[in-house]
Amino acid sequence: MFRNQYDTDVTTWSPAGRLFQVEYAMEAVKQGSAAIGLRSKTHVVLGCVNKANSELSSHQKKIFEVDDHIGVAIAGLTADGRVLSRYMRNECINYSFTYESPLPVGRLVVQLADKAQVCTQRSWKRPYGVGLLVAGLDESGAHLYYNCPSGNYFEYQAFAIGSRSQAAKTYLERRFENFTDSSRDDLVKDAIMAIRETLQGETLKSAICTIAVVGAGEPFHVLDQGTVQQIIDTFETAAEQEDPATEPDAATGQEAAAEQGTAADHGGSTDEGAAPMDI
Protein backbone atom coordinates (compact mmCIF):
# COMPACT_ATOMS: atom_id res chain seq x y z
CA MET A 1 0.00 0.00 0.00
CA PHE A 2 1.13 3.55 -0.71
CA ARG A 3 0.36 6.89 0.84
CA ASN A 4 -2.13 9.11 -0.91
CA GLN A 5 -4.18 12.22 -0.24
CA TYR A 6 -7.08 10.22 1.21
CA ASP A 7 -5.27 8.33 4.00
CA THR A 8 -4.38 11.20 6.33
CA ASP A 9 -7.63 10.89 8.28
CA VAL A 10 -9.72 7.88 9.22
CA THR A 11 -12.95 9.74 8.37
CA THR A 12 -11.88 10.75 4.84
CA TRP A 13 -13.47 8.74 2.05
CA SER A 14 -11.65 8.11 -1.20
CA PRO A 15 -13.53 8.51 -4.51
CA ALA A 16 -13.64 4.72 -4.72
CA GLY A 17 -15.48 4.53 -1.39
CA ARG A 18 -12.58 3.28 0.69
CA LEU A 19 -11.26 4.19 4.14
CA PHE A 20 -7.53 3.67 3.85
CA GLN A 21 -6.78 3.98 7.57
CA VAL A 22 -9.14 1.06 8.23
CA GLU A 23 -7.48 -0.97 5.48
CA TYR A 24 -4.07 -0.23 6.99
CA ALA A 25 -5.31 -1.58 10.32
CA MET A 26 -6.51 -4.75 8.60
CA GLU A 27 -3.09 -5.03 6.97
CA ALA A 28 -1.50 -4.91 10.43
CA VAL A 29 -3.51 -8.04 11.30
CA LYS A 30 -2.10 -9.83 8.25
CA GLN A 31 1.44 -8.95 9.33
CA GLY A 32 1.02 -10.38 12.84
CA SER A 33 1.98 -13.89 13.86
CA ALA A 34 -0.61 -16.51 12.98
CA ALA A 35 -3.55 -17.42 15.23
CA ILE A 36 -6.10 -20.17 14.57
CA GLY A 37 -9.35 -21.35 16.10
CA LEU A 38 -11.68 -24.30 15.59
CA ARG A 39 -14.75 -25.60 17.37
CA SER A 40 -16.95 -28.64 17.80
CA LYS A 41 -20.33 -28.93 19.47
CA THR A 42 -18.81 -28.90 22.95
CA HIS A 43 -15.29 -27.46 22.72
CA VAL A 44 -13.33 -24.62 21.16
CA VAL A 45 -9.55 -24.67 20.67
CA LEU A 46 -7.34 -21.64 20.07
CA GLY A 47 -3.74 -21.74 18.91
CA CYS A 48 -1.09 -19.21 18.03
CA VAL A 49 2.53 -18.95 16.96
CA ASN A 50 4.93 -17.39 19.46
CA LYS A 51 7.53 -15.25 17.74
CA ALA A 52 10.23 -13.45 19.70
CA ASN A 53 11.87 -10.34 18.27
CA SER A 54 15.27 -11.61 19.37
CA GLU A 55 16.86 -14.75 20.72
CA LEU A 56 17.55 -12.77 23.89
CA SER A 57 13.90 -11.80 24.47
CA SER A 58 10.75 -13.65 25.38
CA HIS A 59 7.74 -13.82 23.08
CA GLN A 60 4.65 -11.65 23.43
CA LYS A 61 1.56 -13.25 24.93
CA LYS A 62 -1.05 -13.85 22.21
CA ILE A 63 -3.81 -15.74 24.05
CA PHE A 64 -5.74 -14.11 26.90
CA GLU A 65 -8.32 -15.46 29.31
CA VAL A 66 -11.39 -13.22 29.51
CA ASP A 67 -13.59 -15.32 31.78
CA ASP A 68 -13.97 -18.96 32.73
CA HIS A 69 -16.03 -19.50 29.58
CA ILE A 70 -14.36 -17.07 27.14
CA GLY A 71 -10.85 -16.55 25.77
CA VAL A 72 -9.25 -14.71 22.86
CA ALA A 73 -6.33 -15.18 20.48
CA ILE A 74 -4.93 -12.11 18.72
CA ALA A 75 -2.93 -11.24 15.62
CA GLY A 76 -1.58 -7.74 15.01
CA LEU A 77 -0.56 -5.10 17.53
CA THR A 78 -0.23 -6.88 20.86
CA ALA A 79 -0.75 -3.68 22.86
CA ASP A 80 -4.14 -3.09 21.21
CA GLY A 81 -5.11 -6.69 21.86
CA ARG A 82 -4.17 -6.36 25.53
CA VAL A 83 -6.38 -3.26 25.89
CA LEU A 84 -9.36 -4.91 24.20
CA SER A 85 -9.01 -8.10 26.25
CA ARG A 86 -9.05 -6.00 29.43
CA TYR A 87 -12.22 -4.27 28.18
CA MET A 88 -13.84 -7.66 27.55
CA ARG A 89 -12.81 -8.83 31.00
CA ASN A 90 -14.45 -5.80 32.61
CA GLU A 91 -17.66 -6.37 30.64
CA CYS A 92 -17.82 -9.97 31.83
CA ILE A 93 -17.27 -8.95 35.45
CA ASN A 94 -19.94 -6.23 35.32
CA TYR A 95 -22.49 -8.54 33.70
CA SER A 96 -21.80 -11.32 36.19
CA PHE A 97 -22.11 -8.91 39.12
CA THR A 98 -25.40 -7.47 37.82
CA TYR A 99 -27.17 -10.59 36.57
CA GLU A 100 -25.31 -13.34 38.46
CA SER A 101 -24.83 -15.32 35.27
CA PRO A 102 -22.09 -15.58 32.61
CA LEU A 103 -22.13 -13.06 29.79
CA PRO A 104 -23.31 -14.68 26.50
CA VAL A 105 -20.52 -14.89 23.98
CA GLY A 106 -22.50 -13.31 21.15
CA ARG A 107 -23.42 -10.26 23.21
CA LEU A 108 -19.80 -9.65 24.20
CA VAL A 109 -18.69 -9.92 20.57
CA VAL A 110 -21.28 -7.33 19.49
CA GLN A 111 -20.08 -4.93 22.20
CA LEU A 112 -16.50 -5.43 21.08
CA ALA A 113 -17.44 -4.81 17.44
CA ASP A 114 -19.27 -1.61 18.40
CA LYS A 115 -16.19 -0.39 20.27
CA ALA A 116 -14.02 -1.06 17.22
CA GLN A 117 -16.49 0.64 14.87
CA VAL A 118 -16.44 3.89 16.86
CA CYS A 119 -12.73 4.21 16.08
CA THR A 120 -13.51 4.25 12.34
CA GLN A 121 -15.87 7.23 12.72
CA ARG A 122 -13.89 9.64 14.92
CA SER A 123 -11.16 11.82 13.43
CA TRP A 124 -9.22 11.96 16.72
CA LYS A 125 -9.02 8.17 17.02
CA ARG A 126 -7.39 5.41 15.02
CA PRO A 127 -8.68 1.88 14.34
CA TYR A 128 -7.42 -0.92 16.54
CA GLY A 129 -4.69 -2.71 14.63
CA VAL A 130 -5.55 -6.16 15.91
CA GLY A 131 -7.81 -9.03 14.95
CA LEU A 132 -9.34 -11.21 17.66
CA LEU A 133 -10.53 -14.80 17.58
CA VAL A 134 -13.07 -15.05 20.40
CA ALA A 135 -13.76 -18.56 21.72
CA GLY A 136 -16.51 -19.23 24.22
CA LEU A 137 -19.15 -21.54 25.54
CA ASP A 138 -22.62 -20.53 26.72
CA GLU A 139 -26.13 -21.96 26.93
CA SER A 140 -26.44 -22.11 23.15
CA GLY A 141 -23.22 -24.12 22.71
CA ALA A 142 -19.65 -23.51 21.61
CA HIS A 143 -18.84 -20.41 19.56
CA LEU A 144 -15.90 -19.05 17.58
CA TYR A 145 -15.99 -15.44 16.34
CA TYR A 146 -13.58 -13.25 14.44
CA ASN A 147 -13.59 -9.51 15.22
CA CYS A 148 -12.12 -7.29 12.51
CA PRO A 149 -10.61 -3.78 13.02
CA SER A 150 -13.36 -2.43 10.74
CA GLY A 151 -16.01 -3.32 13.35
CA ASN A 152 -17.29 -6.37 11.47
CA TYR A 153 -17.60 -9.73 13.19
CA PHE A 154 -18.21 -13.22 11.84
CA GLU A 155 -18.88 -16.62 13.38
CA TYR A 156 -16.83 -19.51 12.06
CA GLN A 157 -16.49 -23.25 12.41
CA ALA A 158 -12.73 -22.77 11.98
CA PHE A 159 -10.59 -19.80 10.99
CA ALA A 160 -7.02 -18.53 10.84
CA ILE A 161 -5.59 -14.99 10.85
CA GLY A 162 -2.13 -13.48 10.69
CA SER A 163 0.91 -14.02 8.51
CA ARG A 164 0.96 -17.18 6.37
CA SER A 165 -2.54 -17.97 7.62
CA GLN A 166 -3.66 -19.08 4.14
CA ALA A 167 -1.81 -22.38 4.54
CA ALA A 168 -3.70 -23.02 7.80
CA LYS A 169 -7.00 -22.04 6.16
CA THR A 170 -6.38 -24.56 3.40
CA TYR A 171 -5.82 -27.30 5.98
CA LEU A 172 -8.93 -26.29 7.96
CA GLU A 173 -11.07 -26.18 4.82
CA ARG A 174 -10.13 -29.77 4.04
CA ARG A 175 -11.03 -30.93 7.54
CA PHE A 176 -13.80 -28.64 8.82
CA GLU A 177 -16.66 -31.05 8.05
CA ASN A 178 -15.31 -33.40 10.73
CA PHE A 179 -14.91 -30.72 13.41
CA THR A 180 -18.55 -30.68 14.54
CA ASP A 181 -18.40 -34.21 15.94
CA SER A 182 -14.70 -34.17 16.86
CA SER A 183 -13.52 -34.91 20.37
CA ARG A 184 -11.47 -32.48 22.41
CA ASP A 185 -8.21 -34.32 21.73
CA ASP A 186 -8.86 -34.44 17.99
CA LEU A 187 -9.49 -30.68 17.93
CA VAL A 188 -6.20 -30.07 19.72
CA LYS A 189 -4.36 -32.25 17.22
CA ASP A 190 -5.94 -30.44 14.27
CA ALA A 191 -5.05 -27.09 15.82
CA ILE A 192 -1.40 -28.10 16.13
CA MET A 193 -1.39 -29.42 12.57
CA ALA A 194 -2.85 -26.13 11.30
CA ILE A 195 -0.16 -24.19 13.16
CA ARG A 196 2.51 -26.39 11.61
CA GLU A 197 1.20 -25.47 8.16
CA THR A 198 1.93 -21.78 8.86
CA LEU A 199 5.59 -22.44 9.72
CA GLN A 200 6.48 -23.44 6.14
CA GLY A 201 9.28 -25.90 6.85
CA GLU A 202 10.30 -24.59 10.27
CA THR A 203 10.44 -27.26 12.97
CA LEU A 204 7.37 -27.25 15.19
CA LYS A 205 8.14 -27.23 18.91
CA SER A 206 6.01 -26.50 21.95
CA ALA A 207 8.20 -23.46 22.67
CA ILE A 208 6.95 -21.62 19.57
CA CYS A 209 3.22 -22.33 19.86
CA THR A 210 0.46 -21.92 22.45
CA ILE A 211 -2.76 -23.95 22.64
CA ALA A 212 -5.81 -23.09 24.75
CA VAL A 213 -9.07 -25.00 25.27
CA VAL A 214 -12.55 -24.20 26.56
CA GLY A 215 -15.48 -26.59 26.61
CA ALA A 216 -18.28 -28.30 28.45
CA GLY A 217 -17.11 -28.90 32.02
CA GLU A 218 -13.71 -27.43 31.18
CA PRO A 219 -12.99 -23.75 31.91
CA PHE A 220 -10.75 -21.79 29.58
CA HIS A 221 -7.10 -22.65 30.12
CA VAL A 222 -3.79 -22.81 28.28
CA LEU A 223 -2.19 -26.22 27.83
CA ASP A 224 1.26 -26.59 29.34
CA GLN A 225 4.25 -27.03 27.05
CA GLY A 226 4.83 -30.62 28.15
CA THR A 227 1.38 -31.72 27.00
CA VAL A 228 1.75 -29.93 23.66
CA GLN A 229 5.19 -31.44 23.09
CA GLN A 230 3.84 -34.94 23.73
CA ILE A 231 1.23 -34.43 21.00
CA ILE A 232 3.90 -33.13 18.60
CA ASP A 233 6.11 -36.14 19.35
CA THR A 234 3.17 -38.42 18.56
CA PHE A 235 2.89 -36.82 15.11
CA GLU A 236 6.58 -37.29 14.44
CA THR A 237 6.50 -40.93 15.56
CA ALA A 238 3.52 -41.65 13.29
CA ALA A 239 5.29 -39.97 10.36
CA GLU A 240 8.43 -42.05 10.91
CA GLN A 241 6.36 -45.24 10.92
CA GLU A 242 4.71 -44.29 7.62
CA ASP A 243 7.98 -43.52 5.82
CA PRO A 244 9.32 -47.15 5.74
CA ALA A 245 5.95 -48.31 4.42
CA THR A 246 6.19 -45.94 1.44
CA GLU A 247 9.79 -46.84 0.54
CA PRO A 248 8.93 -50.13 -1.28
CA ASP A 249 6.32 -48.30 -3.37
CA ALA A 250 8.87 -45.65 -4.24
CA ALA A 251 11.39 -48.30 -5.30
CA THR A 252 8.80 -50.00 -7.49
CA GLY A 253 8.02 -46.66 -9.13
CA GLN A 254 11.70 -46.07 -9.87
CA GLU A 255 12.04 -49.48 -11.51
CA ALA A 256 8.98 -48.83 -13.65
CA ALA A 257 10.37 -45.45 -14.70
CA ALA A 258 13.68 -47.07 -15.64
CA GLU A 259 11.92 -49.69 -17.76
CA GLN A 260 9.94 -46.99 -19.55
CA GLY A 261 13.14 -45.07 -20.24
CA THR A 262 14.80 -48.20 -21.71
CA ALA A 263 11.79 -48.87 -23.93
CA ALA A 264 11.89 -45.29 -25.18
CA ASP A 265 15.59 -45.63 -26.06
CA HIS A 266 14.89 -48.80 -28.10
CA GLY A 267 12.00 -47.09 -29.85
CA GLY A 268 14.29 -44.28 -30.99
CA SER A 269 11.99 -41.46 -29.74
CA THR A 270 11.73 -39.44 -26.54
CA ASP A 271 9.07 -37.07 -25.18
CA GLU A 272 11.07 -33.99 -24.33
CA GLY A 273 8.03 -32.11 -23.05
CA ALA A 274 6.91 -34.85 -20.61
CA ALA A 275 7.31 -34.03 -16.92
CA PRO A 276 9.38 -36.43 -14.80
CA MET A 277 7.43 -38.76 -12.54
CA ASP A 278 7.00 -37.52 -8.99
CA ILE A 279 8.03 -40.22 -6.55
Residue 260 placed within a domain: no
pLDDT at position 29 is 96
The pLDDT, as a whole number, for residue 25 is 95
pLDDT above 90 covers a percentage of the chain that reads 70
Q: Is residue 134 part of a domain?
A: yes
CATH classification of the domain holding 160: 3.60.20.10
pLDDT at residue 79, as a whole number: 95
Contact 108, 90 (CB under 8 A): no
Domain span at residue 57 reads: 20-234
In a domain, 169, yes or no: yes
Spatial separation of the C-alpha atoms in residues 164 and 271, rounded to whole Å: 38
| pLDDT higher at 251 or 204 | 204
Lowest mean pLDDT among 67-76, 91-100, 236-245, 270-279: 270-279
Confidence grade of residue 200 (pLDDT, cut at 50, 70, 90): confident
Give the total number of structural domains in the chain: 1
The dihedral sign for the CA sequence 228, 164, 59, 93: negative
Considering the domain boundaries, does residue 6 fall inside one? no
Give residue 2's pLDDT.
Answer: 58
Q: What is the pLDDT of residue 3?
A: 64
In the prediction, which pLDDT does 272 show? 44
Domain-embedded: residue 279: no
Confidence at residue 263, expressed as pLDDT on a 0 to 100 scale: 47
- Quote the mean pLDDT of the chain: 87
Residue 198 pLDDT exceeds 50: yes
Instruction: Report if residue 220 sits inside a domain.
Output: yes
Q: Tell me, what DSSP letter sits at residue 121? A: S
Asked whether residue 66 is domain-assigned, the answer is: yes
**76-128 tens-digit pLDDT:** 999 999 999 999 999 999 999 999 999 999 999 999 999 999 999 998 999 99
pLDDT at 56: 78
For residue 183, pLDDT over 80 is answered with yes
Residue 256 lies in a domain: no
pLDDT digits (tens, 9 = 90+) for 33-85: 999 999 999 999 999 999 877 777 888 899 999 999 999 999 999 999 999 99
